[in-house]
Amino acid sequence: MSDTNVYIKNRPATFEYAIEDRLKVGIVLTGSEIKSVRNSKVSFNDSYCLVDNGEMWIKSLHIAEYVNAGYAGHVSVRDRKLLLTRKEINKWQTKVKEKGLTIVPLSMYIDDNGLAKLEIGLGKGKKLHDKRETTKNREVEREMKRYIK
């Protein structure tokens, strides 16, 4: 398919959280939602994942309305179900309860089969000094690349 180059990244997630574990999961979308995803009309502002009644949901994910949807449009911000196995849900739920971690969406993309996938991560919130250190390391790497060229 020609839509395989769609890759939307949640940049603030890696700055705000130290990601310990990653997982690629499916997401349940309607027809107009998947068309908006293919047009890269997704925003991760304040979105997070949680486990409710043995199912994992993503909250506050904004997928813009598809222009040509007509009557079959969708609500831009709603709870969407994530597709994981029971074993994965239980494993991640115990880590969230025990260690105080947060499940954060990292990126959304279209795979080779044309399906929307979401990459989620177990993140621990960074303190201010950790964020400064991340910024400093990024600048040092940038300077090294410039020096090498």
Per-residue pLDDT of the chain (149 residues; tens, 9 = 90+): 444 588 999 988 888 899 999 999 999 999 899 999 999 999 999 899 999 999 999 999 999 999 888 887 888 899 999 999 999 999 999 999 988 899 999 999 999 998 999 999 999 988 888 888 888 988 999 999 999 87
Q: Which sequence spans correspond to the domains of the chain?
A: 2-148
Strand-pair partners of 109: 7, 117
Longest dimension (CA), the chain: 56
Superfamily for 2-148?
Small protein B (2.40.280.10)
What pTM was computed for the model? 0.82
